[in-house]
């Protein structure tokens, strides 16, 4: 979001808070969405950003040097154990000794090979109490070693590719979460707008019917109307007053105000005339392609990458594993600590280990085959889901043009119905039409008004579906990424 947009949102929130003492305030759909954007940005997106940053830092830490300090203070042993004598024979001797040690090690992962470099340094003190009392020291000035598995897959490189794909998925999920929140606002806004429109129509009909009841009663008193006509008019008025829309409004008000953190009622305002003039101009193939990619394609790519990583590990475990470890350093030993620096000697170590699976009953091979078949089944299921989603998305987009055209037709029909209702009132006053025809026309008007709002709501829900799944605004032809 641009800085200017954020300033506008802050101003809007300040105005909303300033007006909190009023009973109600007029809100358009755009204003409700602006408040929702500001709330989501401060409450959710900031937390998502911190979570993502922690994930990336945890991965980067793996490539940083690790320093560890080990202390053993003390290790006291009193036991009978076998000891090798100078002539090569062994005998059991009662040994009573204590050892203390301190060491520091530094390890560094090499990402391009997957091997690890170790640098260690430490000192050990050994105190013998029996069979005779002695003490000695051992100092390891430093030891440098390198450990590497040969012909084995580099797990760090795979994990890095997975992390990059996860970041792309989480970035898309963050935007989709925002749009899902906006979609909920759209749903509640039009629910409230529909109920308030129904109440508005009901009030308008009550005013007309009250005026008509007064007229029909005057005619009845002058002998120009029957008692049945008066009773039918009164029934019509009672029926209009017997509405549950007010209770429904309170429920939806509470839901929308709670979602937007507002403490007063909202009067939903929507410019139907401007909406009916809207022209859509988007590339259906492009929008469907984006929806397929961002709604399921990216997550499928991540899933396939994880499957390939696991399969590589399973396949590698079927073959001999060769590990190489080489190192060297300088160490010394003495009976007094001050003599350690004068008695130095070089140390060298080299180790090649080979781990060959001889009889494992093809367990790892079976695991690899199982993983391959499971991945194949998921690929088939994804292909079926992909086709179904493509058909569904195209159907939703094709329905948008129908909604816009049908709203224009509904508007013309409403104008005719209002003209008909006014004429029926006049004719009913003179006894030329039946009460049922008047009530039926009134019901047609209310039903069509609510149906128009339902179509507008359906249109916006579809628009925000594609804002969520395709990260694209088809009303403004705007990329949301």
Supply the DSSP string of 249-296, one letter for each residue: HHHHHHHHHHHHT-SSEEEEE--HHHHHT------HHHHHHHHHIIII
Report pLDDT digits (tens) over 349-391. 888 888 888 877 888 888 888 988 999 999 999 999 999 999 9
Top-confidence residue, 281 or 430: 281
Q: Supply 144's token pair.
A: 């440098």
Q: Is the pLDDT of residue 179 over 90?
A: yes
Helices (H), 284-362: 284-292, 298-316
**Nearest in space to 187 (alpha carbons), one of 32, 407, 40:** 32
The answer to whether residues 219 and 225 touch, using CB atoms and an 8 Å cutoff, is yes
CA gap 345, 141 in Å, rounded: 10
In sequence order, the 6+-apart residues with CB closer than 8 A to the CB of 116 are 107, 108, 109, 110, 146, 147, 148
Phi, psi of 113 (to 5 degrees): -115, -25
Would you state the pLDDT for residue 188? 95
Place 19 in a pLDDT band, splitting at 50, 70 and 90: very low
Would you state the pLDDT for residue 3? 45
Q: Is the pLDDT of residue 281 over 50?
A: yes
Place 2 in a pLDDT band, splitting at 50, 70 and 90: very low
Would you state the pLDDT for residue 331? 79
Would you state the pLDDT for residue 132? 82
Q: Is the pLDDT of residue 424 over 90?
A: no
CA gap 292, 470 in Å, rounded: 7
CA gap 293, 306 in Å, rounded: 18
Place 293 in a pLDDT band, splitting at 50, 70 and 90: very high
In sequence order, the 6+-apart residues with CB closer than 8 A to the CB of 75 are 98, 99, 100, 101
Q: Is the pLDDT of residue 6 over 50?
A: no
Among 371-385, 409-423, 426-440, the range scoring the smallest mean pLDDT is 426-440
The DSSP H or E segment spanning 415 is: helix 363-429
Would you state the pLDDT for residue 13? 52
When pLDDT is averaged across residues 317-330 and rounded to a whole number, the result is 79
When pLDDT is averaged across residues 448-459 and rounded to a whole number, the result is 92
Q: Is the pLDDT of residue 18 over 60?
A: no
Q: How far apart are the first and last CA of the chain?
A: 11
Opening angle at CA 439, ends 436 and 441, nearest 5? 110
Tell me if residue 159 falls in helix, strand or coil.
helix
CA dist 120 to 266, 326, 328, 330, 341, Å?
Answer: 69, 14, 10, 11, 17
Report pLDDT digits (tens) over 224-240. 777 887 787 788 788 77
Q: Is the pLDDT of residue 469 over 90?
A: yes
Pairing of strands 472-473, 478-479: antiparallel
Residues of the chain with pLDDT > 70, as a percent, come to 92
The DSSP H or E segment spanning 453 is: helix 435-469
Top-confidence residue, 332 or 294: 294
Place 8 in a pLDDT band, splitting at 50, 70 and 90: low
Q: Is the pLDDT of residue 408 over 50?
A: yes
The answer to whether residues 475 and 465 touch, using CB atoms and an 8 Å cutoff, is no
pTM value?
0.78
Would you state the pLDDT for residue 431? 64
Tell me if residue 135 falls in helix, strand or coil.
strand
Top-confidence residue, 151 or 369: 369
């Amino acid at each position: 979001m641009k800085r200017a947009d954020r300033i506008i949102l802050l101003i809007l929130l300040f105005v909303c808070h300033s007006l909190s003492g009023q009973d109600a305030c007029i809100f358009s759909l755009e204003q409700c969405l602006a408040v929702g954007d500001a709330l989501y940005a401060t409450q959710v997106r900031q937390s998502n950003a911190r979570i993502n940053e922690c994930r990336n830092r945890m991965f980067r830490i793996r490539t940083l040097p690790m320093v560890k300090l080990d202390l053993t203070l003390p290790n006291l042993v009193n036991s009978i154990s076998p000891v090798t004598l100078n002539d090569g024979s062994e005998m059991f001797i009662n040994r009573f000794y204590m050892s203390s040690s301190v060491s520091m090690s530094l390890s560094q992962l090499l990402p391009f090979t997957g091997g690890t470099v170790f640098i260690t340094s430490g000192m050990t003190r050994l105190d013998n109490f029996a069979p005779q009392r002695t003490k000695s020291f051992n100092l390891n000035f430093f030891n440098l070693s390198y450990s590497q598995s040969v012909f084995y897959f580099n797990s760090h490189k795979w994990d890095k590719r997975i992390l990059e794909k996860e970041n792309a998925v989480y970035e898309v999920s963050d935007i989709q979460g925002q749009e899902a929140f906006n979609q909920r606002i759209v749903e509640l806004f039009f629910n409230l707008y529909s109920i308030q429109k129904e109440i508005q129509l009901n009030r308008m009909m009550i005013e007309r019917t009250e005026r008509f009841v007064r007229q029909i009663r005057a005619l009845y008193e002058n002998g120009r109307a029957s008692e049945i006509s008066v009773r039918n008019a009164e029934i019509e008025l009672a029926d209009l007053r017997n509405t549950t829309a007010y209770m429904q409004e309170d429920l939806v008000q509470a839901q929308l105000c709670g979602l937007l953190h507002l403490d007063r009622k909202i009067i939903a305002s929507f410019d139907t005339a401007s909406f009916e003039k809207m022209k859509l101009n988007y590339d259906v193939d492009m929008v469907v392609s984006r929806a397929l990619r961002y709604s399921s394609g990216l997550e499928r790519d991540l899933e396939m990458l994880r499957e390939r990583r696991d399969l590589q590990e399973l396949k590698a475990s079927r073959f001999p594993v060769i590990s190489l470890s080489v190192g060297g350093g300088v160490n010394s030993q003495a009976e007094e600590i001050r003599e350690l620096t004068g008695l130095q000697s070089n140390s060298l170590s080299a180790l090649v280990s080979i781990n060959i699976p001889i009889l494992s009953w093809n367990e790892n091979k079976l695991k690899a085959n199982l993983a391959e078949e499971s991945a194949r089944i998921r690929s088939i299921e994804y292909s079926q889901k992909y086709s179904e989603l493509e058909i569904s998305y195209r159907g939703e987009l094709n329905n948008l043009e129908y909604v816009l055209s049908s709203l224009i037709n509904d508007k013309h029909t409403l104008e005719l119905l209002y003209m008909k209702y006014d004429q029926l009132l006049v004719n009913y006053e003179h006894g030329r039409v039946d009460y049922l025809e008047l009530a039926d026309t009134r019901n047609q008007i209310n039903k069509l008004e609510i149906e128009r709002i339902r179509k507008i709501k359906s249109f916006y829900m579809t628009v925000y579906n594609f804002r969520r799944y395709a990260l694209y605004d088809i009303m403004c032809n705007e990329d949301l990424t």
